[in-house]
Amino acid sequence: MNFIVRESTPKDMPQVLGLIKELATFEKEPDAVEVTEELLKEAGFNSDPMFTCFVAEVDSEIVGMALVYFRFSTWKGRSLHLEDLIVKDKMRGSGIGKELYTKVIQYAYNKKVKRIEWAVLNWNNRAIKFYERSGATVLKDWYIAQMDEAGIKIYLENLE
């Protein structure tokens, strides 16, 4: 199968959003996606883009994507966060995920970051094994903490 991996463009965002929704379903959160095509275009393709997105394309269809952004580690310095790496279910096992992953690692290397970080669900054994085989360390002693919009509001209201 022939495919290409390239940096995304604004016109790719409808298909990228479709992949994001497919990932949400895979992760058992089908109704959690709030982002829109417009927000993806606005946030990723302005004078100060919030992210870079790479896409895998087969016959003009986007079948995979990896979205990254820069962070700063107080211990290491500049780092890259891999927010999501998604391959359409029908294309898994084809090597597309590995090519997207390699593209992210090459991008990080070229940008001279000190570390790449990402999260993986503890039940996604296939992904965990892939990452470990690649040389990544999957930390099992850290929890990810998040606070959503409602939690932010409640916290601030309780300060008053």
Integer angstrom CA distances of residue 50 from 14, 40, 134, 157: 18, 9, 27, 29
Q: What predicted TM-score, i.e. pTM, was given to this entire model?
A: 0.93
Give CA separation, 73 vs 76, 81, 118, in Å. Answer: 5, 11, 13
Confidence band of 93 (pLDDT split at 50, 70, 90): confident
Q: Which helix (H) or strand (E) holds 54?
A: strand 52-58
The pLDDT confidence band at residue 154, using thresholds 50, 70 and 90, is very high
Asked whether 100 and 54 are in contact (CB, 8 A), the reply is: yes
**pLDDT band, residue 15 (cuts 50/70/90):** very high
Q: Which domain holds residue 38?
A: 4-159
Q: For this structure, is 109 an active site residue?
A: no
**Overall number of domains in the chain:** 1
CATH (domain of 25): 3.40.630.30
Per-residue pLDDT tens for 39-77? Answer: 999 999 999 999 999 999 999 999 999 999 999 999 999
Catalytic residue among 69, 101, 107, 131: 131
DSSP labels for 108-138? HHHTT-SEEE----TT-HHHHHHHHHTT---
How many Cα atoms are found within 13 Å in the side-chain-facing hemisphere of 134?
17
pLDDT of residue 1: 75
